[in-house]
């Protein structure tokens, strides 16, 4: 319980969103089983599944962009409630029909509508949270999602063979419950209007292009997160394909328990990692996360067929996922204007969807033609490229954003601080006073 003290002192709205995440995630049984539904129930090949995922990802691009624009122009609460209601209708409709391509298309429609919520949800957390607490707020939201998911994949694995309709029903009812909670309990007027730094202030009427021209380092971050998303999502694509190929029908149960282990580790380790690595900057945490993720894929592929090794690989993967999650959105929201959060967060999501779509085509084709090992090699190579770009980002961010990396109170005391770093920090303080935008990389 002491670890939960990490989340004390946040605002009431953070806890409402936290509970909403728990309830929604408890019903998220379809997503972990999606690849197996397409392969074992609808008898699709790896290439066909990849094509479906690519179409889904590409269709999600305009949905994210629309969601981001709505987040900046409309009430974020109303956007979330409206999208959730449409998703609930789609899920309940799927529960009433026998499994075929048509109800899965309706499910995909509901999932696409819910994608419009993603930039809105992330922007809403930033709106109601002071900059100093933002990492803890995103960590709490992530913890809530995984608290709900602790049992969901295992239950989904047990329902997979004979009670698939029940998974859709539970998903619809839990989404409806979390939507009602946000509608009746969340106060949209609670948004914080402070400006934590010059990086978060800009002309509300400025175009996204002009904002990115002043913060060009964000483009590098978008490229990194796009590759990172392509690598990360193979957990839900290549891994279940391999488990189904090696273990047959038992693969669904194994994958369900792996997904539940993922959530259990998140529940216990997210507060611990958030606390122990509070002194690390966001880029360093992102780098650690991707190193762990690539290492977990290597372990999974190396010992494929040895069931205990799957759980060791999943533990490593989950630690990496925690680092990745508690650093990515805080990094971005502290460096972009408040008035443009929704649109820039949606661009980040779109870049990830686009990269994931291209990677899925390549990985699916390689899997069908050359087998699992070659497909995993491509994924791990992409992971290594991501790590190299993050090393570049560490250097570029240090020059562009000054005191995010070197706290003022430790500048003169630390023997490791160079004269260049000290001058950069003084330049940052000067820009704070005179409202000068940060230099680009």
User: Could you tell me if 321 and 426 lie in one domain?
Assistant: no
Asked whether residue 128 is assigned to any structural domain, the reply reads yes
User: Could you tell me if 396 and 436 lie in one domain?
Assistant: no
CA distance 260 to 146: 9
CA distance 154 to 56: 25
Asked whether residue 194 is assigned to any structural domain, the reply reads no
C-alpha angle 294-306-369 in degrees, rounded to nearest 5: 65
Which two tokens mark 242? Answer: 């391999």
User: Could you tell me if 79 and 129 lie in one domain?
Assistant: yes
User: Could you tell me if 130 and 220 lie in one domain?
Assistant: yes
CA distance 220 to 107: 34
433: how many CB neighbours lie within 10 A of its CB?
A: 8
Asked whether residue 67 is assigned to any structural domain, the reply reads yes
Residue recorded with tokens 């392509």: 230
Q: Tell me, what's the pLDDT at 425? A: 39
User: Could you tell me if 306 and 409 lie in one domain?
Assistant: no
Question: What domain range is 309 assigned to?
Answer: 2-185+210-400
Asked whether residue 341 is assigned to any structural domain, the reply reads yes
Q: Tell me, what's the pLDDT at 121? A: 80
Residue ranges of alpha helices (H) inside 303-418 are 307-333, 341-370, 372-400
User: Could you tell me if 332 and 426 lie in one domain?
Assistant: no
User: Could you tell me if 266 and 413 lie in one domain?
Assistant: no
- The total of structural domains in the chain comes to 2
Q: Is 3 helix (H, G, I), strand (E, B) or coil?
A: helix
User: Could you tell me if 158 and 45 lie in one domain?
Assistant: yes
Q: Tell me, what's the pLDDT at 439? A: 41
Asked whether residue 203 is assigned to any structural domain, the reply reads no
CATH assignment of the domain containing 160: 1.20.1250.20
Q: Which of 295, 267, 252 is nearest to 384 (CA)?
A: 295
User: Could you tell me if 308 and 434 lie in one domain?
Assistant: no
C-alpha angle 90-95-98 in degrees, rounded to nearest 5: 115
User: Could you tell me if 300 and 408 lie in one domain?
Assistant: no
CA distance 34 to 37: 5
* Tens of pLDDT, residue by residue, the chain (441 residues): 555 677 888 888 888 888 888 887 777 777 777 877 888 888 888 778 878 877 887 787 788 778 878 877 778 888 888 988 998 999 899 899 888 889 888 988 888 888 788 778 877 887 888 877 877 888 888 788 877 777 777 787 788 778 888 888 988 898 899 889 888 887 766 666 555 455 555 555 667 677 777 778 888 888 999 999 889 988 888 888 888 888 887 887 888 888 888 878 888 888 888 888 888 888 899 999 999 999 999 999 998 888 899 999 999 999 999 998 888 878 887 777 776 777 777 788 778 878 887 888 888 889 888 988 999 999 999 999 999 999 998 888 876 665 555 443 443 344 444 444 334 433 433 333 333 333 433
Question: Counting beta carbons within 10 angstroms of the beta carbon of residue 85, is it exposed (0 to 12), middle (13 to 18) or buried (19 or more)?
Answer: middle
Asked whether residue 204 is assigned to any structural domain, the reply reads no
C-alpha angle 225-228-232 in degrees, rounded to nearest 5: 135
Dihedral of CA atoms 8, 9, 13, 17 in degrees, nearest 10, equals -20
Asked whether residue 81 is assigned to any structural domain, the reply reads yes
367: how many CB neighbours lie within 10 A of its CB?
A: 25
Tell me the Ramachandran region of residue 305: left when phi exceeds 0, alpha when psi lies from -120 to 50, beta otherwise. left
Cβ atoms of residues 102 and 61 within 8 Å: no
User: Could you tell me if 327 and 439 lie in one domain?
Assistant: no
User: Could you tell me if 380 and 416 lie in one domain?
Assistant: no
Q: Tell me, what's the pLDDT at 299? A: 94
Asked whether residue 192 is assigned to any structural domain, the reply reads no
């Amino acid at each position: 319980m002491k670890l939960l003290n990490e989340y004390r002192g946040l605002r009431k709205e953070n806890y409402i969103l936290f509970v909403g995440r728990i309830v929604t995630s408890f019903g998220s049984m379809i997503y972990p089983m999606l690849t197996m539904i397409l392969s074992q129930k609808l008898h699709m090949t790896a290439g066909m599944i990849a094509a479906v995922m690519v179409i889904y990802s590409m269709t999600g691009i305009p949905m994210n962009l629309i969601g981001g624009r709505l987040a900046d122009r409309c009430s974020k609460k109303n956007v979330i409630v409206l999208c959730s209601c449409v998703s609930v209708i789609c899920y309940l409709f799927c529960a009433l029909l026998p499994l075929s391509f048509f109800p899965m298309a309706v499910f995909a429609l509901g999932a696409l509508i819910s994608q419009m919520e993603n930039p809105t949800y992330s922007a809403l957390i930033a709106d109601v949270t002071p900059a100093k607490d933002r990492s803890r707020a995103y960590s709490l939201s992530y913890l809530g999602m995984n608290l709900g998911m602790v049992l969901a994949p295992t239950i989904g694995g047990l329902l997979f063979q004979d009670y698939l309709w029940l998974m859709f029903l539970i998903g619809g009812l839990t989404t409806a419950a979390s939507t009602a909670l946000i509608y009746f309990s969340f106060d949209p007027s609670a948004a914080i209007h402070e400006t934590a730094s010059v990086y978060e202030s800009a002309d509300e009427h400025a175009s996204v292009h002009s904002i990115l021209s002043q913060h060009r380092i964000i483009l590098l971050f978008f490229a990194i997160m796009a590759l990172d998303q392509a690598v990360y999502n193979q957990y839900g694509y290549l891994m279940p394909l391999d488990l189904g190929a090696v273990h047959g029908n038992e693969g669904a149960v194994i994958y369900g328990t792996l997904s539940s282990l993922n959530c259990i580790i998140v529940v216990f380790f997210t507060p611990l990692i958030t606390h122990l690595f509070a002194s690390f900057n966001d880029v360093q945490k992102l780098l650690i996360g991707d190193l762990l993720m690539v290492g977990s894929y290597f372990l999974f592929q190396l010992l494929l067929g040895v069931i205990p090794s799957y759980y060791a690989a999943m533990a490593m993967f989950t630690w990496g996922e925690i680092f990745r999650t508690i650093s990515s959105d805080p990094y971005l929201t502290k460096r972009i204007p408040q008035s443009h959060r929704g649109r820039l967060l949606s661009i980040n999501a779109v870049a990830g969807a686009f990269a994931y779509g291209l990677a899925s085509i390549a990985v699916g084709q390689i899997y069908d033609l050359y087998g699992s090992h070659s497909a995993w090699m491509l994924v791990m190579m992409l992971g290594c490229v991501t790590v190299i770009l993050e090393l570049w980002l560490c250097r570029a961010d240090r020059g562009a954003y000054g005191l995010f990396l070197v706290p003022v109170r430790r500048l003169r005391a630390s023997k490791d601080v160079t004269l260049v770093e000290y001058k950069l920090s003084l330049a940052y303080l000067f820009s704070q006073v005179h409202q000068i935008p940060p230099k680009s990389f």
